[in-house]
Structures are given as structure tokens and as C-alpha cells.
Structure 1
Amino acid sequence: MAPTKVGYGALLRTPGAWTFLAPAFVARLPYAMLSMGILMLVENTYGSYGTAGTVTAIAAVAQALIGPQTGRLADRYGQAAVLLPTVAVHAASVGLLIALALGHAPVWCLFLAAVPAGASVPQIGAMVRARWIATIGAEGASASSAAKVSTAFAFESVTDEFTFVIGPILAAKIATSVSPSAALITEAALTFVGGLVFATQRRTAPARTAPQPGARRASALASPGVRLLAGVILGVGAVFGGMQVSVNAFADSVGQHAAAGTVYGIFAGGSMVAGVLYGVIAWRRAVQQRMVISYALLVVGCSTLWAMPNLVTLSIAGLFCGLAIAPTLISGYTLVETLVEDGAKTEAFTWLTGAIGLGLAVGSMVAGRLIDGHGPSAGFLVPLAGAGLGLVALVSMRHLLVAPNRSGHVVAGSGERTAPAQLAGAAKG
């Protein structure tokens, strides 16, 4: 039987979709602005890419560790109950970080302030994916619904990449034309407003999955496949982090600081184009195989970055490197949805999002140190190393990515089967 294909037009006509997609876009745009804004503010006020990369890394580590916990709380208590306090804390934390940086506080103060700023980043992308599962699942289990889930994940990856195109450019433009602090103020304002509006869209939110009395609820991370995917996606995060710091440093070294956001945007733009194409193809190859192939192409693309002599060639190399990003992430999110029960899906998505953040943290920190010691080109070795290690893990342990053969997915702790759960197995291919 020929693979079922669902286009973006049919997906976006899903009843209620735009009520959460529009505010979600506003709320997730700042995700790509935060790291760039912190990087440019701290480098501007302290004069060190190493210090700037470390502060950025701490914020990303906090987001990576706390994000899955907020995802788990959203599964249990509802998205609005988690989002409302989260966006308020984020706005206050970013404001404190700005004040400390402008006041030239001791570096350790910036490290401390970066923790709540990163930990309070709202997990909008994971929440949107969970809403797609709930909304499409309400239509009933079928090959068409499973195909729509796959298209929805492709659409979300494209949206993520679009924010990574616009976010760094917007942050860099505001930082250079107004001030670095203004870029972070904009980030906090968009997060706060977008998050509040998104939280009010309760009709499309997934149902809470409170466990029965006495039942213990397992974490999504208990699945070996989820752990593998988190580790593999960590390598993709290292590509993001190494690219952000290295592109900024490289642009500085050739006297074109304002071009950094554009170069990074081209890299993310390549991923966005690949994501669009991925979502309109009716794939015959299994998703596990697609992920291995796209990850291998990512390693090949990253292998050329360190040798580029100028911004033009770096932009071209970054474009080809970016073409492998979205297919890798779409495959990862598609796989992780099949590996967990319904009541842990938001948490599972946040583990992957958190892994990106953690990889970004490590990548930006290591790249910053390499740049300070050996020049901007050395920083591009970080994306190559991160992607290379991720590929080794993926190839050697890909057998863990086969979904459990359940007689029927059940909501964690409830024992009730739901339509979204029935889509998991069909989404595998």
C-alpha cells in the first residue's frame, strides 16, 4: 500500500490549530534570542567570549535540566498551570541578569542569575507538539491521522528553525542598533506576552493525566530509547552552540560583527528548507533509517566549517550543514512519541528540547574557550565533535529505537486507552 501523505494545507485546517499556533510562535521566537542576547551582552560588557559562552552555557544547562520537569508537571497539572508562573519568573530573571551585567557585577553573580533565566524558559515547542497529538487524536486512529502527526512534527521543526532564522538576526540587529540589553528586554517581553496568551487557549490543551491513588508514574526517561535519543540530540545542540559562538567570533575577526546573525540565519534557513521538504514527502524508508542517514549528512556538513576562509564560504558551508538538521530533529521527535505512554509525551518532548539546550550549553562553552585560546576557526571543531559522537551513539544503539509492542497504549496511571496513543505505532514509518 502506498504511504499516506498529508500536506501542510490539510494540517493547518485542523479545527482549533491556529488558536494555539499563533501565540506559540510569539512565545517560542525568544528561545533563539536568549542565547544570542546573553552572548552579545556579556561579551560587550566583559570583553570575553569565554565568559560570555559560560554564562550562556549555564542558562542552557538550567533549561535542559529543569525543562523536562516542567513538562512532566504540565502532563499532570495542565499546561496553563505551569506556564503562568514560568513566564513571570522568566521576565524577572532576565531583568536581573541585564542589571547585573550592566553594573559589571562579579562574574559569579552572572552565573547565579543565569540559572533562573534558563530554568524558566517555557517549553512551548513541547507543549505545541503535545497539543497536536491531542487534537489529531480526537479525530480517531487511522493511517491518515498518523500521517498528519508526522506532518505536524515536520511543521513544528520548520517553525523551530524559522525562529532560529529570525531570532538571532533580530537579537543581533537590536543589540547592534540599540543595545545588547534591549535585545534581552525584547526577548523577555515576547516570552511573557506570548506565553500568557498561549496559556489561555485551554480548549486545545491535552487532558491532564493524574495517576490513580497509589500508582507510581514512571518518567519518560525510564525508556532506553528516550535516553538514547536525548543523548543523540545532545550532539545536535552542540552544533547549535558551537555555531552561535564561532560565527560571532569569526564575524568579529573580519570586522563584520553585524553579519553574524545573517550567517547563522542562513545555517538555520538551510534546516528550515529541508524541514519543509521533509514534511511533504510520503516516506517509504523507516524513520530509524532516515535519522541515521540525516545524522551522517550532518557530520559531513560540519566537517568543512573550520576550514572556511571568509564569511561567504562560511555561509555556504553553514547552509549545507543546516540542511541535515531538521530531518534529524523531525525523526527524533517522531521516534520519541512512539516510545512513551500518553501521560508522558510532553515530558518526553522536553527531554529532547532540553538535550538541545544542554548540547548548546556545552558547545558554546567549549567553543568560547577554544576561540579565546586558538582563534575563531577552532570553535568550529565543536559542531564536528558533537555531531560525530552523536552519530556513533545512534548507529551503535539504534536497536533501542523500536517502539514497545503494547497491546494498547494506556494513559500513565489511569489504565484508559486514548486515541492519541493509538497513533504512536502508526507514526513509526
Structure 2
Amino acid sequence: MSHAPSTPHDHVPAPTTESAGLLRIAGLPYFLIAFIARLPFAMMVVGVLTVVVSARGSLSLGGLTSAAVGLGTACFGPLLGAAADRFGQRMVLLVLAIANGAMLVLFTLVVYAGGADALVLLSAVGIGATAPQVAPMSRSRLVTMITDRMPESVRPRTISGTMAYESAADETVFVFGPFLVGILASALAPWAPLIGAAVLTVVFVGAFALHPSARAVSMHRDGDGRAPSAVSELFAPGVLVVVVGILGVGMFFGTMLTSLTSFMADRGASEQAGLLYGVMGVGSAILALGVAWLPVRFSLRARWLTFSAILLGGSLLLLLVDSPATMMIALAIMGIGIGPTLVTQYSFGAARSPLGRSATVMTMLGSGIVVGQSLGAAVAGDLAENAGTGSALVLPIIAAAVAFAAGLVNWRLSTARPRVASV
């Protein structure tokens, strides 16, 4: 397929030497801004749950509200990614920064003003619908820079390293986000995390939108912003299997944190759940970064199966845990599997994105994580409350099995002996 012509403003001029690395191309401030800008996204689900449970005294309504955030993201996230592909990230992100900040404040007012439950749920959907998915947008932006501005010989390794960094950054904020929510809620008030998230969204998502790299548009887009690939290519089996696999990872995050909280609450130490969860999160982030140094002969499809199998094996230990110590061992093992699995799935997403639609695919994957996390937390919370912690601890096993099963399907869909350089 021939590449559509591009005008001078379609993308930032190429570097003058082939030795220019991604850090040099994007600049250190970019990575700092992009890291902080994704923090509000990690605070939303837990922050919404905290406010509703505190103000309304209903864990059930809190779970439903968290699920409503995920619903909004599922319905609108990919559409926002498509808009970013079509019109560029800057305009889309600026609008979302303002809209999402306003929705977070509005939601807080609705909850504390005694609005009807339906209005609470509707405003929660609004939070998810306007959520500026910085992580997928960053992945798309960086992949575009790598593809358009770096020598072909270094692209595969650079993309693998970039996906590893991005996933490690996600792991860090998804662990630190709930921790920050807890600190703000305890030190100030239950509404403080959402107001804090609103401020961070306006300031740092706005800065992320205004960063010069937001001008980067794939060379595959023509002067009118149209892509050469058909929309139907977004629903190809190779893309959908990655979406299902990453949905399983999101479900794991949601069910594990919620069931772990219930597990520690049974022992009178629910406030320590975040510390134990950090054992998995920190290990996962470190292993995610380590993926970039795995040998090329260890193919992407083999990585998915291997690390999701470790995740599944670690989750099966949840059937045997009887103390915080044994829970910590299970979490450490699961941490070995979850980070590299996530990195590999995003690498497949980058490799299989239809021409000119990388932001759309990345937001599909980002939405999959949030939807899985929200629904997983809601179901696990309800099950823990009505059937006990033991029943809730089965849910992370099911989620890990979904990620592993998707890896099996992906193995069959992948070409023979796929490598990092050619998946």
C-alpha cells in the first residue's frame, strides 16, 4: 500500500542523524509531563468508590459507580482515539482536560448534594467518557515518532523498550494512584482525591496536549487527516484477541485489589492492603522494564504465553493463602507475570495497528484495562460482601485465565515463529 503524501506540518521534521534516540527526539520534559498526566486516570476509579462509600454509606452503589466510569470509558475511549488520529491529539486532549476536570467536580457536588443514585451513575459515566487517556495517547505518539523518524533497523528494539517503559509507568501510577487517594482522603477529606485529580487533569493533561510532540501525525495520514486503512481493520482477529487479553489483565487488577482489601479487612488491617498490593506492583514494574532486554529469539507470542502462565500459576495460590505472608508470596509470583504480559500485549497492539490508526488501537487497549478494572472491582466487591472473601479470591484466577486463553488464541493467529522484529 502506498503512503499518502504528507504536508510539512503533518509531523515534526526528522532528525538529522540516525543516532538520535527516542529520549533525544521527545525530550526529557515530555516523559515527566506524560507520567504525571496519567496519574488522574489511575485515581478515578478508586476515588469515585471512596467518595460514594463515604458520602452515601453504600459499598454496592460505590461498586456500581466505579463500573459506570468503566462503561463511559468503554463507549467513548476508542472514539476519542479515533478523533485524535483524525484531527490530532492537541485539540482533542485540550477539550478533554477541561471537560474531565469539570466532570470530576460535578460528580463530587452531585454525590454530596444528595442527588439521586441515577444522577450519580450518570455523572460517573461522564467521568469515564471524558477521561483523557494519556497512556494510550503517549504510546501512539511515541510509536509514531519511532516509525516516522528513526532508522528501520532500530525500530523493533526501540518499540519494545518503549512499550516496556510505558507499561512500567502504568504499573507505577496504578499502584501509586490508589495510594495517593488514600493519603488525600485520610489527611483532608473523602472528596479531596477527586478535586486533586481535577486539578492535575487540567494542568498536566493540558501541558501534555500543548507539548510540541502533539503535532506529530503519522505519515500515513493524508493532508485532510484521513487514514489509508479501513475502519473494519480495527476488528481484525489479531487486534481483537489483544483487546480481550488486555481486558483480562484489567479484570485481574480490579478483582485482585478488591479481594485483597477484603482479605486484609477480615484480619482487621484493611489499610495494609495497599502495601501488600505494592509487592506485586513494584515487582511487576521492574519486570516490565526488563522485557526490553529479553533476547529477540524469545518471540512475542511465546512471551505472552509464558508470562500469562506464570500469572495464572501465581493466582492459583490464592486458593491456599491463609495469612498475609503467604499472600505476599502469591502476589510476588503474580508480579513476575503481569508486567511482562502487559508489555507484550501492547507490543502486539503497536505491531497490528492499521495504518494511521495507532491512537485508536491504543485507546481500545487502554479502555480494555479500565473496563476490566472497573467491572472486576464491582463484581469482586459485591461477591466479597455477600459470599465472603474466599469466593472473591476466585475472581483473579478467572481473570488470569482469560489473559492466558487469549495468549493461546494469539499463538494460533500469529505467523510461524513470530519475532519481536516481525510479529
TM bracket, shorter-chain basis = 0.7 to 0.9
Whether 1:112 and 2:106 are equivalent positions in the alignment is no
Q: Which moved more, 1:243-252 or 1:267-276?
A: 243-252
Following the alignment from structure 1 to structure 2, what is the Cα–Cα distance between the partners of residues 401 and 344?
A: 20
Q: Find the partner of 1:145 among 155, 163, 166.
A: 155
Following the alignment from structure 1 to structure 2, what is the Cα–Cα distance between the partners of residues 349 and 74?
A: 11
Following the alignment from structure 1 to structure 2, what is the Cα–Cα distance between the partners of residues 40 and 313?
A: 28
Q: What amino acid does structure 2 have at the position aligned with 1:395?
A: L
Question: 1:342 is paired with a residue of what secondary structure?
Answer: coil
Q: What amino acid does structure 1 have at the position aligned with 2:26?
A: G
Following the alignment from structure 1 to structure 2, what is the Cα–Cα distance between the partners of residues 230 and 322?
A: 21
Q: Which residue does 2:421 correspond to in 1?
A: 427
Whether 1:372 and 2:385 are equivalent positions in the alignment is yes
Q: Which residue does 1:6 correspond to in 2?
A: none
Q: Which residue does 2:262 correspond to in 1?
A: 249
CA RMSD of aligned residues (A): 2.4
Q: Aligned residues: percent identity?
A: 29
Question: 2:298 is paired with a residue of what secondary structure?
Answer: coil
Q: Find the partner of 1:295 among 301, 304, 308.
A: 308
Q: Which residue does 1:17 correspond to in 2?
A: 27
Contact 1:134 1:205 in 2 (8 A): no
Q: Displacement, 1:225?
A: 0.7
Contact 2:136 2:362 in 1 (8 A): yes
Following the alignment from structure 2 to structure 1, what is the Cα–Cα distance between the partners of residues 63 and 92?
A: 29
Q: Which residue does 2:86 correspond to in 1?
A: 76
Following the alignment from structure 1 to structure 2, what is the Cα–Cα distance between the partners of residues 323 and 220?
A: 33
The C-alpha deviation readout for 1:58-115, integer Å capped at 9, x for no partner, is: 1012112211111111011000110011111111111122122223433222211110
The C-alpha deviation readout for 1:331-363, integer Å capped at 9, x for no partner, is: 111112221233111111111111111111221
Contact 1:49 1:371 in 2 (8 A): no
Whether 1:258 and 2:271 are equivalent positions in the alignment is yes
Q: Which residue does 1:171 correspond to in 2?
A: 181
Following the alignment from structure 1 to structure 2, what is the Cα–Cα distance between the partners of residues 427 and 110?
A: 47
Q: Which residue does 2:249 correspond to in 1?
A: 236
Contact 2:140 2:358 in 1 (8 A): yes
Following the alignment from structure 1 to structure 2, what is the Cα–Cα distance between the partners of residues 318 and 219?
A: 39
Q: What amino acid does structure 2 have at the position aligned with 1:160?
A: D
Alignment of 1:304-319 (within 5 A): 304-319=317-332
Mark the CA change 1:180 to 1:196 in structure 2 (over 3 Å): closer, same or farther. Answer: same
Following the alignment from structure 1 to structure 2, what is the Cα–Cα distance between the partners of residues 326 and 214?
A: 32
Q: Displacement, 1:398?
A: 2.8
Q: What amino acid does structure 2 have at the position aligned with 1:360?
A: Q
Q: Displacement, 1:219?
A: 5.0
The C-alpha deviation readout for 1:367-421, integer Å capped at 9, x for no partner, is: 1110111123322211111221332233145332449x9xxxxxxxxxxxxxxxx
Q: Displacement, 1:150?
A: 0.9
Mark the CA change 1:213 to 1:30 in structure 2 (over 3 Å): closer, same or farther. Answer: closer
Q: Which moved more, 1:329-338 or 1:391-400?
A: 391-400
Number of aligned pairs? 400
Following the alignment from structure 1 to structure 2, what is the Cα–Cα distance between the partners of residues 15 and 329?
A: 25
Contact 1:42 1:51 in 2 (8 A): yes
Q: Which residue does 2:407 correspond to in 1?
A: 394
Following the alignment from structure 1 to structure 2, what is the Cα–Cα distance between the partners of residues 222 and 38?
A: 32
Following the alignment from structure 2 to structure 1, what is the Cα–Cα distance between the partners of residues 294 and 410?
A: 27
Whether 1:332 and 2:345 are equivalent positions in the alignment is yes
Whether 1:40 and 2:50 are equivalent positions in the alignment is yes
Q: Which moved more, 1:266-275 or 1:80-89?
A: 266-275
Q: Which residue does 1:362 correspond to in 2?
A: 375
Contact 2:22 2:146 in 1 (8 A): no
Question: 1:323 is paired with a residue of what secondary structure?
Answer: helix
The C-alpha deviation readout for 1:5-26, integer Å capped at 9, x for no partner, is: xxxxx95643233232111111
Following the alignment from structure 2 to structure 1, what is the Cα–Cα distance between the partners of residues 279 and 310?
A: 17
Q: What amino acid does structure 1 have at the position aligned with 2:196?
A: T
Alignment of 1:67-216 (within 5 A): 67-203=77-213, 205-207=215-217, 209=221
Whether 1:57 and 2:67 are equivalent positions in the alignment is yes
Q: Find the partner of 1:347 among 340, 353, 360.
A: 360
Q: Displacement, 1:158?
A: 0.7
Q: Displacement, 1:306?
A: 4.7
Contact 2:100 2:130 in 1 (8 A): yes
Contact 2:78 2:360 in 1 (8 A): yes
Q: What amino acid does structure 2 have at the position aligned with 1:276?
A: L
Following the alignment from structure 1 to structure 2, what is the Cα–Cα distance between the partners of residues 300 and 380?
A: 14
Contact 2:34 2:138 in 1 (8 A): yes
Following the alignment from structure 1 to structure 2, what is the Cα–Cα distance between the partners of residues 204 and 372?
A: 45
Mark the CA change 1:218 to 1:370 in structure 2 (over 3 Å): closer, same or farther. Answer: same
Mark the CA change 1:99 to 1:145 in structure 2 (over 3 Å): closer, same or farther. Answer: same
Q: What amino acid does structure 1 have at the position aligned with 2:383?
A: L
Q: What amino acid does structure 2 have at the position aligned with 1:72?
A: A
Contact 1:36 1:244 in 2 (8 A): no
Mark the CA change 1:90 to 1:306 in structure 2 (over 3 Å): closer, same or farther. Answer: farther
Q: Tell me, which stretches of 5 or more residues in structure 1 are unaligned?
A: 1-9, 406-424
Q: Find the partner of 1:277 among 290, 304, 320.
A: 290
Following the alignment from structure 1 to structure 2, what is the Cα–Cα distance between the partners of residues 327 and 14?
A: 26
Q: Which residue does 1:408 correspond to in 2?
A: none
Q: Displacement, 1:255?
A: 2.5
Q: What amino acid does structure 1 have at the position aligned with 2:261?
A: N
Question: 1:15 is paired with a residue of what secondary structure?
Answer: helix
Mark the CA change 1:18 to 1:342 in structure 2 (over 3 Å): closer, same or farther. Answer: farther
Q: Which moved more, 1:195-204 or 1:81-90?
A: 195-204
